[in-house]
Amino acid sequence: MKYQIKFGPEEIRKAKKELLSIQNRIEDIQIVIEKFEEFGNLAKVNQSFILKMSIVLDELITNIIRYAFEDDKAHIIYLEFMVTDNTFYTAIEDDGVPFDPFTREAPDTSLNLEEREIGGLGIHLVKKLMDEYEYLRMEDRNIVKLVKKNVQRQ
């Protein structure tokens, strides 16, 4: 993983952190969800947040696996989870084609399903559930950074 979330020494000392890598296979999404649930429970974050974040991770990783790679070769997707006090951070990194998922315009949810354009609803949900989201392209790698503040702890 080339990108890692960076903080000062005090935040790092208090942080709970998990690094994970998977292959670009749909069945590996379940590994991410299970590892995130374990991390969330160890970090004592609220179950409601674990459920919402699992939806976000499923959406983003599914999009990466389905659309980021132009070949059928194995690729590694890296994930980092970190919680400090009551703020949750995650980074997702892949070597797929450049794509910023956050530039797409939000779907018009006032339209009937038949009238709407296909796609975009999942990323719209990600934007609604996260407080901050950012896409970076660094050294031929896509990096998605997410932040959720005021995460309830048990």
pLDDT band at 52 (very low <50, low <70, confident <90, very high): very high
Domains identified in the chain and CATH numbers: 9-148 (3.30.565.10)
Strand order, beta sheet including 16-23: 16-23, 76-84, 87-94, 141-148, 132-138
Q: Looking at the whole model, is its pTM more than 0.75?
A: yes
pLDDT at res. 100:
95
Q: Choose among 105, 133, 135, 134: nearest CA to 119.
A: 105
pLDDT at res. 144:
97
Give the type of residue at 5: I
